[in-house]
Structure formats: C-alpha cells, structure tokens
C-alpha cells in the first residue's frame, strides 16, 4: 500500500531511539504502515506523511509549524506567508536575549528543531528575505544575512541605552557592552536608531575610537 503525501496518520508504536515505528492510516479500513521521522514522536500523536513508499512513510508531527506545509495534490510545498509569521514571532519571543536579531544560520538551526526541518534550507530563508513587504527587516553585514525586528519593536533597547546615558553622557560600545552584555551588532543597531532620533551624536578619534555623546539627556 502506498498512500498520498500530505495524508494525516496516527502514531501507533514508536522507537524513540531509532526514530521509527508504525502508524495507523484510516481510509475504508485501518492499515498499519512502517514509518520513520527525524522528529520526536510518541504513541497517539498525529503526523503528516511527507514521503511515501510501498508500505512505508516518512512523517513529521502535525503541529503548529506543520500549518506551513501545503498539499498541492501532487507534492508538498511551504506557505511563505505562514513561514514569515513564524520568523516574526521567533524574533519577538527571543527579544530579551537577542534584541530581535537573528542570522540566517540562527533561523536555519531553529527550524531544524521543528516539524519543518525537512523543508527549510538556507535558500528558502534567503528567498524569504527578498520578499516584499515583510513585518521585519533584513540586512547583510560582513557577508552574513540578518533578520531584525523593526525599530519601533526594539524601542526597549533604545530606552536601555538612554537610561545608561543619564549617568554617563559619553558612551562607547565597550562601555555599553560592559553594562548590558549585548553583542556588538545589537548595540550598533540600537545606536543607529538613537542617532537617527537625534538623542545622540557620534565622534570618531584615532585614540578613543567611536564615542557617543548624549547632550540632551
């Protein structure tokens, strides 16, 4: 028996170590098929068939991420609008630790832990970055592609730097890092916004490097 890709099945027996087991396929009659998956599965869980062979299937969990999987009738594809929303939510949910910034590799590794791991490639993420419009921004720096929340969604970081400037009207990237433990990219992106809003001016010298002045704080 060979069933169509996109079919929903139920995990019946599962070997978590070898990541294989049996699934139940319900049509006119109940049938058992051998199955394997790169994802963690458990008995009774619903799954989606992504590859189908004679009496054997490869499955992924039927979960919130699998909502991005679209069945065209002949093959499976990704709904890029849903994928974009997943990226946006990931940036927002991890704001405290990342400042709403993720590299293309960060996102790739994130999706490898989800039911979309068989679908997400660096090329897919690169194509997403070229989509217009997006609810976030993308930029390249030193050959790396980054995804970042829009400035207004990163306003808390700007406020953090302005609060630091209340005690020290001249700041450096090193000084900000010492106080916040943020990586340099997060600091620079926040300073760009603060400078654009007119709260800060930057001066560069051979001796001290870049110094950021906050005369109005």
**One domain, residues 89 and 34:** no
- Report the run of H or E that residue 86 belongs to, with start and end: helix 80-93
Q: What is the pLDDT of residue 108?
A: 98
Of 125, 149, 173, the last residue of a domain is 149
CATH number of the domain within which 178 lies? 1.10.10.10
Q: Which of 51, 17, 20 is nearest to 34 (CA)?
A: 20
**One domain, residues 115 and 130:** yes
Cβ atoms of residues 125 and 107 within 8 Å? yes
Could you list the residue range(s) of the whole structural domain that residue 207 is in?
153-213
Q: What is the pLDDT of residue 206?
A: 73
- 151-179 mean pLDDT: 95
Q: Dihedral of the CA atoms 41, 44, 45, 49 (nearest 10)? A: 90
- Residue with tokens 């949910």, as numbered in its chain: 93
The pLDDT > 90 percentage for the chain reads 88
Q: What is the pLDDT of residue 72?
A: 82
**One domain, residues 90 and 121:** yes
Of 31, 62, 93, the last residue of a domain is 62
* Residue 27 pLDDT exceeds 90: no
First to last CA, the chain: 72
**One domain, residues 187 and 203:** yes
Higher pLDDT, 27 or 192: 192
Residue 70 lies in a domain: no
Report the DSSP beta bridge partners of residue 210.
204
Q: What is the pLDDT of residue 216?
A: 75
Residue 13 lies in a domain: yes
Residue 162 lies in a domain: yes
Residues 66-121 pLDDT 10s? 999 999 877 899 999 999 999 999 999 999 999 999 999 999 999 999 999 999 99
- 148-175 mean pLDDT: 95
**One domain, residues 18 and 52:** yes
Predicted structure pTM score: 0.91
- 140-166 mean pLDDT: 96
**One domain, residues 157 and 141:** no
Q: What is the pLDDT of residue 28?
A: 62
Mean pLDDT of the chain: 94
The structural domain count of the chain equals 3
Residue 160 lies in a domain: yes
Residue 12 lies in a domain: yes
**One domain, residues 84 and 53:** no
């Amino acid at each position: 028996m060979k069933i169509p890709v996109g079919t929903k099945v139920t995990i019946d027996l599962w070997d978590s170590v070898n990541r294989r087991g049996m699934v139940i396929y319900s049509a006119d009659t109940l049938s058992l098929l051998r199955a394997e998956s790169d994802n963690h599965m458990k008995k009774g869980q619903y799954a989606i068939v992504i590859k189908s062979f004679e009496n054997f299937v490869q499955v992924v969990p039927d979960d919130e991420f699998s909502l991005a999987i679209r069945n065209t009738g002949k093959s499976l594809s990704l709904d890029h609008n849903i994928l974009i929303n997943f990226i946006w939510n990931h940036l927002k949910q991890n704001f405290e630790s990342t400042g709403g910034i993720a590299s293309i590799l960060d996102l790739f590794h994130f999706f490898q832990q989800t039911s979309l791991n068989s679908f997400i490639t660096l090329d897919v993420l690169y194509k997403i970055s070229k989509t217009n419009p997006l609810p976030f921004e993308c930029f390249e720096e030193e050959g790396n592609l980054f995804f970042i929340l829009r400035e207004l969604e990163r306003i808390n970081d700007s406020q953090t730097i302005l609060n630091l400037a209340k005690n020290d009207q001249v700041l450096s990237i090193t000084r900000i890092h010492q106080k916040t433990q943020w990586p340099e990219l997060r600091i620079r992106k926040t300073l760009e916004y603060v400078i654009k809003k007119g709260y800060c001016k930057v001066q560069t010298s051979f001796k001290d490097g870049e110094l950021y002045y906050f005369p109005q704080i």
